[in-house]
Structure 1
Amino acid sequence: MMMVVATIPILGGIALAVDYAELSRQRQLTLNALDAASVATAAHIVSGVVSAADPAAYDLEIKKYAQDFFEANLGRVKPANAPLTVRLPNNDAGGGTLKLSAELTYEPYFLPAFTKLIGRPSEENTVDVTAHSEVRLKNTLEVALVLDNSGSMAQYGTGTGQQRIALLKAAAKQLIETMANQAAMMKQVPKPVQFGLVPFSASVNIAPANDDQPWMDTLGISPVHHENFDWSKMTPANPNYNPNKYAEKVGDVWYKRGADWGDTRDQPLTRFSLYADIIAETDREAIPNTSRRVCKRFRDGACKEYTTEPEYEYTVSQYTSWQGCVEARPAPYNNNDADATSSNPATLFVPMFAPDEARHLWRDLNNDNIPDLDDANYGYGNNWWADWTDTDAASRQSDMRKYFRVKPYGAPAAASGDGPNSSCTTNAITPLHDVTTLEGKKVILDAIDAMTPTGNTNVPEGTAWGWRVVSHKAPFTEGRPEIEMGNDKVIIVLTDGANTYGDYTYTDPAGNQSTYAAYGYTGKGYNGTGTTRMYMDTNVSKSTYTNTNYQAAMDEQLQMVCANAKAPDQGNVIVVTVSLDLSTSVASEKKAIDALTNCASDSRFKKNDDGTPKKLYYNATGSNLAEKFKEIADELSNLRIVS
């Protein structure tokens, strides 16, 4: 009897040991399957392979993927004994935590017999174990700093003794340092935080090295490419054309024809070719034993005294090169991220070329010191070449023959800033760089330090290029694909003034209606229409050419580009806006504040008192700009931290 009594606990211990070992094994198999399914499902979500367009279908697809992967790795555990629960991340823009859990029900081998032997209820013949696995999806950032470099940024910031541009540089660099330090902890994620820089004023510079890219209009086929050019004076239809150097249009392309074009014969006539073909005499060397008669003193329309001097041999050079600025694409492409393709020429980017405006910069055409051209002055600002003939202002400006006249040695120099690159005043865009590396951070910080204030203010063009910088498509391809979840694309736009586009307050016989900048001349209708590009798709008066109307049109353009950039089916970009030293008591500045406020995205984390999301708009002064940028850093940090 004593042996029987003693045997019961011994057998029970053996049964428990065997069952416990098997329970531990099944629990470990379940945990391994959970971990494998978590990692695989997280990678599946981040890849963007499954479309989130239909949320219900998306959830079912992801959960089925997790279930299939989990069951495939359970081994000897019956799927029916380990039902899976999948909790998907609740961050619609990506990131968040994926949670998987399984309720393992273990059916012991020996425990049922043992419990029956000792008279225990059969309901206690199973063991339930809960297993969990969590994976924090990556949440990376791509940020474009779209910063005002207009002339007013040279003014002192309110409440400080520093220029606004200096305050902006310090605040922007501190933002980058903060985000770089945080991102350095995410060593398992490549390029966790990237920054790019878009300095803007009247236009945006995309870098001259891009002159041969397929998204540039290298053939001159865009509807805006020849907007200010009149090639008809160089065609056989004009009696004064040169049969050995003329222009011929074939389809949408103008070509060089005739032997006098030399090596470039039969190539397209474009803005790029103009930059290459405009030549100036830059040096000279006297030819020994030669002489020529030149005017020494010219007065009252006649030469009063002649002298002789040697004949010269001249060195000629290209006058200037394209500095990298582009015009705004015609609507709707100025406000979106549509692919630039030759199959749709309006989508191509056109290099800026500011025409030489009416007036002769030099008047002597044959180096004899006697003027051959008149001294008519039309008051235009961008006078950098000699017009072809003494005609009306509009013809003087558009006649293309003048650009193939060589500028004489010793001719007057154009005023500072004048030339075909007029209104191209900013440094080139700096594409996205990984600021967690010393090299990448240095590139961005150096670019910020190099910013210089000058020119007018064109916020919509700056914003559009900010979007293109964080986009994964050309022209800038450093951004992650939009379908890749766990990544936030952000544009931070700062300006210290209202949108401005110089109007004319004096006689304008050429009909330009404005100074030349990214929208060209506002007096030129788009593609044969009567509407300038700036006014396209807006509700402003199409026949009013004033600064007030220009601001209204550009404010509307800003709303369009912001709406498109923020749209989930387009850019899905977070837009942060900052005004610097603007006041609601000044009408134009109040309009600028309203435009920036409407442009901004809603915060995902901060609420107003009524429970609505706060706008990511910050009204800064010179004295608190650094504080506002710290608030922006907090917002960006929240995008990456999941509780």
Structure 2
Amino acid sequence: MIRKFLQDRRGSYAILTVAAMVPIMGALALAIDYSEMSRQREITRNALDAAGIATARRIIEGATDDQLKIYANDFFKANLGPVKPSNTTLTVTLPNSISGGGTLKLEANLKYDPYFVPVAAALLGKGSGSNQMDFAVRSEVRLKNTLEVALVLDNSGSMSENGSGTGQKRIDLLKSASKQLVETLAAQAAQMKQIDKPVQFGLVPFSASVNVGPKNDDEPWMDLDGRSPVHHENFDWSQMTAANAPSIGNRYAELSGGIWRKRGAGWGDTMDMPLTRFSLYQDMTVQSDRERVEGSRHYVCYKKKKNSDKCESGAYEYDYTYTYSQFSSWQGCVEARPAPYNNNDAPAVTTNPATLFVPMFAPDEARHLWRLDIDGDGDIDDNSSDLNSDSFGYSNSWWADWDNSTAGVRQRDMRKYFRIKPYGSASPGSGDGPSAGCSTNPITPLIDVSKSEGKEEIKTAIDAMAPTGNTNVPEGTAWGWRVVSSVAPFTEGRADGEKGNDKVVIVLTDGANTYGDLGSTDDAGNKSTYAAYGYAGKGYDGGSTSRIFMDTSSSVGKSTYTGDNYQAAMDEHMQKVCANAKGPNARKVTGEGNDNVIVMTVSLDLSESYSDEKKAIAALKNCASYSRSTVGKKLYWNATGANLMQVFKEIADELSNLRIVS
């Protein structure tokens, strides 16, 4: 059979072969075209993915929509290689959200011109033409949202109490919960290799005031020349005249161009420089040590015999050489700016002195402190006037008064600060002195916790917190906002409104807002202890309303100097700073919107059974933002000592929901 087939010469096999060649060649043509089409499709897909990642970076950098589309198209076409750019079209769909991440969508359409398909189609009797093939490639990039978080944590004295349901101090419970929050977000940040500083944390410990750091004493946002209306609020330079200069070491003060300046040769190298709180810290001098002069022993008669030149009592004394040093230095705390600047992040500029930040300087309150009896004879011998021993009931008396006068005059008279504190004289009590009211550690600015050194730095700062002082939540919240803001004083934050970035302020307190109420003992008219708002009894810029009452409603008495009224005023300040931070387009219960700053609040061991704590809870709840992931949910937690760690885990979950991780 096979032999017959091979010997057959009638042409049937050739005909069959020719007939078979058409589909065989067509299949081969299709295979070649399909292979090339697949190759071009893969090249297009790679170019699309590369364009997506590159464009996502530009979104984070803050490029405009038009810039992004042009950039994506150029980047895509530059990476097409052998694929003709003219055969492609790119559609870019940008994220809808102006902040908080989103999805970037890119779609490329490619028209492929086959090599053999038209010929194959002609052979198959399908006509001629280009028979162009179209296909589409899609790519989506879910933006890796970045986070900037300021931990605004209560360091007031009550944080030393045990947390409910535990045997641990509240401050220790807070340290553990806060460090766990940092660890959780840092672990997520470490996975985001393609973004710089994916998660940053800052820390704002607060009590009666906030410490911005003593190293900032020469920053332009500080009131370096004493221009602010707040700066000389408790100072009276009027007695430091040229006529009185001899009694003040040939020094006097002169107001020139709105600035008090040093005049007189007694100032030495600092003559003509501004008189400020900073200069006061530098100029207050103390005899810090003394050394006996050898061979100076001499007899001093303390009391003569009656009607005689003979000495009834005396002693041998010595001459001494003294070492002089600076008495104190600025510890870093600042006063609250006058309204409305206390509740916003407006830049500090010298053209508007009220915006400048003024260093805290607690005035020496009335009482002649030193009254030093060096020789033990009962006579005051401290190289200063022998004033009476009136105490006036004030606690922060740390320098000698100038002369016998009323408590208010004694407190304001600036001449006293240029005396030299004698060796062996009494020192201020614990917490007293010019830095009274400044009890917290400095702010830790935003730092990248995706890096181990950054994570450890913020955790170390958390561990260093120590409880003391009163509670000023609005001032702490304002500084939390300034930490995540992109403008000075702290500029580590990304630009406000930058796409793909969320700014978050987490506020925790264990008590109501408090300001020291002096009660009935107040001869100087201070009306309060000294803290971030100064004295509640001192009107701002010569007016009758003090800063703590500025920009408050009619429900807050402007001359009612009680603890309850101070709390009411500070609660209103808190609502203003929170509303300003969240912005006019803040997310509502059921509506859309995006907070400029997301505010999360936590009350610790507070109960609505007590009126002041009930008010504090309401203030914290009103202050909080609404959740983006759960409609109608306020980002407020009422924690106890026992469940604080769990609350911070929930906060970590909420922060994780803000970030989009593909």
TM-score normalised to the size of structure 2?
0.88
Question: 619-628 or 331-340, which moves further after superposition?
Answer: 331-340
Aligned to 1:597: 621
Moved more, 422-431 or 261-270: 261-270
AA aligned to 2:62 is G
Query: Which blocks of at least 5 consecutive residues in structure 2 are unaligned?
Result: 1-14, 304-310, 381-385, 587-594
What is the rounded CA distance, in whole Å, between the counterparts of 1:247 and 1:146 in structure 2? 40
Q: Is the 8 A contact 1:394 1:509 kept in 2?
A: yes
Structure 1, unaligned stretches of length 5 or more? Answer: 51-57, 297-302
**Which residue is equivalent to 1:407?**
421
Aligned counterpart in structure 2 of residue 563 of structure 1, from 579, 588, 612: 579
The one-letter amino acid of 1:389's match is D
Q: Which letter does structure 1 place at the counterpart of 2:575? A: Q
Q: Is 514-523 or 98-107 further displaced after alignment? A: 98-107
1:235 paired residue among 216, 236, 241: 241
Aligned to 2:550: 536
Q: Which residue of 1 aligns with 2:7?
A: none
Q: Which residue of 1 aligns with 2:340?
A: 332
Distance 1:156 1:346 in 2: 41
Output one character per residue of 1:336-385: Cα deviation in whole Å (capped at 9) or x when no partner.
11211222211111110000011111235998852311011211111111
CA drift of 1:408 comes to 1.5
- Is 2:136 the counterpart of 1:136? no
Partner residue of 2:327?
A: 319
Show the 5 A alignment for 1:94-493: 94-119=100-125, 125-236=131-242, 244-287=250-293, 288-291=295-298, 293=300, 306-364=314-372, 370-371=379-380, 372-493=386-507
Aligned residue number for residue 550 of structure 1:
566
Alignment TM-score, normalising by the size of structure 1: 0.91
Contact 2:100 2:658 in 1 (8 A): no
Instruction: String of CA shifts for 1:301-355, please: whole Å, max 9, x gaps.
Output: xx99654422332222211111111111111211111211222211111110000
SS of aligned partner of 1:24: helix
Alpha-carbon separation, structure 1, partners of 2:637 and 2:62: 33
CA contact (8 A) 2:248 2:418 kept: no
Take 1:167 and 1:123, find their aligned partners in 2: how far apart are those partners?
A: 78
User: 2:591: which partner in 1?
Assistant: none
The size of the alignment, in residue pairs, is 624
RMSD: 2.7
The answer to whether the Cα contact below 8 Å between 1:356 and 1:382 also exists between their aligned partners in 2 is yes
Aligned equivalent of 1:627: 646
TM-superposed deviation, 1:95: 2.3
Deviations 1:95-114 (A, max 9, x none): 23312122434343432443
Looking at structure 2, the residues matched to 272 and 485 of structure 1 have their Cα atoms a distance apart, in angstroms, of: 41
Read off the aligned partner of 1:605 and give its amino acid letter.
S
- Answer with 85-94 or 423-432: which moved more: 85-94
In the aligned structure 1, how far is the partner of 2:126 from the partner of 2:378?
A: 123
The secondary structure found in structure 2 opposite 1:538 is coil
Residue 60 of structure 2 corresponds to 46
Instruction: Check the 8 A contact 1:236/1:243 in 2, yes or no.
Output: no
Match of 1:16 among 15, 21, 30: 30
Distance 1:292 1:131 in 2: 105
Q: CA deviation digits over 1:10-56, x for unaligned, max 9?
A: 33134324432442344244324423432332233222131xxxxxx
Query: SS of 2:323's equivalent?
Result: strand
1:616 is displaced (CA, Å) by: 0.8
Tell me which moved more, 310-319 or 83-92. Answer: 83-92
Q: Which amino acid aligns with 1:514?
A: S
Secondary structure of residue in 1 paired with 2:239 = helix
Structure-2 change in CA distance of 1:62 and 1:262 (3 Å):
closer
Give the aligned partner of residue 602 of structure 2: 578
Moved more, 117-126 or 132-141: 117-126
Supply the AA of the counterpart residue of 1:632: I
**Distance 1:121-1:369 versus aligned 2 partners, 3 A rule:** farther
2:94 corresponds to 1:88: yes
Return the alpha-carbon distance in structure 2 between the equivalents of residues 403 and 369 of structure 1.
Answer: 25
Give SS of 1:514's match: coil
Give, in whole Å, the separation in 2 of the partners of 1:293 and 1:544: 57
Asked if 1 retains the 8 angstrom alpha-carbon contact of 2:144 and 2:661, the reply is no
Give the C-alpha shift of residue 2 in structure 1: 2.7
Distance 1:308 1:481, change over 3 A: same
Question: Are residues 1:30 and 2:44 paired?
Answer: yes
Closer, same or farther: CA 578–292 of 1 in aligned 2, 3 Å: farther
Tell me, in whole angstroms, the C-alpha distance in 1 between the residues paired with 2:112 and 2:16.
Answer: 33
SS at match of 1:338: coil
Q: Deviations over 1:410-444 (max 9, x none)?
A: 22222111100001111111122222222222211
8 Å contact kept, 1:228–1:398: yes
Which letter maps to 1:158? S
1:397-420 deviation line (CA, Å, top 9, x unaligned) = 000000011112222222111100
Contact kept? 1:46, 1:94, Cα under 8 Å: no
Would the aligned equivalents of 1:292 and 1:311 in 2 still touch at CA under 8 Å? Answer: no
* Percent identity of paired positions between Structure 1 and Structure 2: 66
Return the alpha-carbon distance in structure 2 between the equivalents of residues 21 and 183 of structure 1: 41
- Equivalent position amino acid for 2:365 in 1: E
Cα separation, 1, equivalents of 2:507 and 2:137: 47
Deviation at 1:177, TM superposition (A): 1.3
1:7 matched residue in structure 2: 21
Q: CA shift at 1:639, angstroms?
A: 1.7
Deviation of the 1:240 alpha carbon: 8.2
Query: 2: CA distance between counterparts of 1:125 and 1:444?
Result: 64
Deviates more, 1:160-169 or 1:569-578: 569-578
**Cα 1:194/1:559, change in 2 over 3 Å:** same
Q: In structure 2, what is the Cα distance between the partners aligned to 1:517 and 1:250?
A: 29
